[in-house]
Structure 1
Amino acid sequence: MVSTDQSDRRHAALASEPRRRALALLAGSVAPLDVAAVAAALGLHITTARFHLEHLEAAGLVERRIARAGQRGRPHVLFSAVAAPVPVEDAQQQLTQALAAVIGEDADGGRARSVRAGERWSAQYAAVADGTSADVPPADAPATDLVPPLLRVLTEIGFEPELRADESVIALTACPFRAEARANPDVVCSVHLGLMKGVARSLGRDGEGIRLEPFVQPQLCLVHLPTTLAS
């Protein structure tokens, strides 16, 4: 039987889109893969790939083995998926869609309540936002005030954010909730907007000027930051 703590760790691990991709890659591989192979396949820095693999290992979703092959020096570490990982993604997606559909029946399409929900959700990422979480990988963000915390939180959730050159726009190149967002954009995208506003508020900034522009391209959303927040 899976313990409650282990189940929580698995849910937390699978909440990250890069970790779901890493797990899918290992599950579909005929042989164990090392960190470099996972990083190359997913387009990640090797340090970031190692971070995600260790998170999956701690959740009991992947396992490592040492391939020494008679060589001296540092052992070669290989990762593989644990057989039959817990199938939570489909159930999570169905629950999210059901909740979004009900909230979307509000007069404003559910936007106000969804923003408030996102602001509450942001509290779960307080340690990530301020950089004190042990699970936060090194960030290469410019040392501006609000941008690095937002990038850390959005990366942790799986949005794969990219800061544009003028540092006032963050491109979200992935979305772990894309199917739900397409079905109920007023609700799901408003939750994400509320999340970012909550991060700003936790840092003592007014997040009301943050604007989310969803689906400017099929796989791209843009976050617009007021100049007073982005610097």
Structure 2
Amino acid sequence: MVATTQNDARHTALASEPRRRALALITGSAEPMGVGAVAEALGLHITTARFHLEQLEAAGLVERQVARAGQRGRPQVLFSAVAAPLPVETAQQQLAQALAAVISEDDDGGRARSVRAGERWSAQYADVADAVAPDTLDAPVATVMPPLLRVLTEIGFEPEVRPDETTIALTACPFRAEARENPGVVCSVHLGLIKGLVTSLGHDAEGIRLEPFVQPTLCLVHLPATLAN
């Protein structure tokens, strides 16, 4: 029997859509695959592909081997699947959908309580504020962006900063199925998470907006050009 901690690690790893795609690609390959091949097949930057493969490896879903072809230079690292992916809809997802459905029965569709839940969730990442040097607090957006991106990446949103430098594109969502079912609840939780993180960094989060599903797989986070201290 797989230990509970390993099951949790696998659920966490597979919460990211790019990681699910990478695992499916490797599982379906007749031969072990290198980072470059995975990056090209999925349209990812090689550094991003390497990050996802390392997360899958840490969860015990893929394993690496070194290809030694008798050539000079650094040997190529190849990955192969060692376990079948978990079912698409896990018991945790079913629970999340059930809770969201109940909360959505509030008069406001559950938005207020969901934002508060997201703000409480952000406390799990309170240590991001420690990475901000005190002498950078005069540039609010520049101060907020790095730790915010780090947390959103860790959760699995695959964030990308738009050219205006105040908009974050969430190109993946580990809760997409739940969000489509109850966007007022799930997306409000995500908004609360972002607001809570910004507040923990010493700024007023009132002007932050989350624009869900501007495209089928894209949501946008809008930060005010100037965040009040």
- Report the number of matched residues: 221
SS in 2 for 1:201: helix
| Runs of 4+ with >6 A deviation | none
Deviation per CA, 1:88-109: give whole Å up to 9, x if none.
Answer: 7433332221111011111211
Does the Cα contact within 8 Å between 1:103 and 1:109 map onto a contact in 2?
yes
Cα distance in structure 1, aligned partners of 2:214 and 2:190: 16
Q: Counterparts in 2 of 1:17-166, with a 5 A limit?
A: 17-87=17-87, 89-127=89-127, 144-166=142-164
- Pair 1:126–1:33, CA change in 2 (3 A): farther
Q: Which runs of 5+ in 2 are unaligned?
A: 133-140
The CA deviation string for residues 60-83 of structure 1, in whole angstroms up to 9 with x for no partner, is 111111221233432221101113
| Aligned with residue 202 of structure 1, among 182, 200, 203 | 200
- 2-side partners of 1:117 and 1:58: how far apart? 29
With structure 1 as the length reference, what TM-score do the two structures score?
0.85
TM (norm. structure 2) is: 0.85
Deviates more, 1:107-116 or 1:166-175: 166-175
Structure 1 residues 100 and 145: CA distance shift in structure 2, 3 A: same
Q: Percent identity?
A: 80
> Which position in structure 2 is the counterpart of 1:10?
10
Q: Alignment RMSD, CA only?
A: 2.4
Farther off after superposition, 88-97 or 187-196: 88-97
Distance 1:31 1:58 in 2: 21
Between the aligned partners of 1:214 and 1:198, the Cα distance in structure 2 is 18
Matched to 2:208, the amino acid is I
Seen in structure 2, the aligned counterparts of structure 1 residues 165 and 178 have a Cα distance that, compared at 3 Å, is same
- Sort the Cα spacing of 1:89 and 1:66 in 2 relative to 1 into closer, same or farther, 3 A: farther
Unaligned runs of 5+ in 1: 133-142
Q: Decide whether the 8 Å contact of 1:145 with 1:230 is kept in 2.
A: no
Partners of 2:44 and 2:130 lie apart in 1 by: 23
What is the rounded CA distance, in whole Å, between the counterparts of 1:16 and 1:43 in structure 2? 15
Q: Distance in 1 between matches of 2:131 and 2:8?
A: 22
Change (3 A) 1:129 1:57: farther
CA contact (8 A) 2:66 2:76 kept: yes
Q: Distance in 1 between matches of 2:152 and 2:128?
A: 10
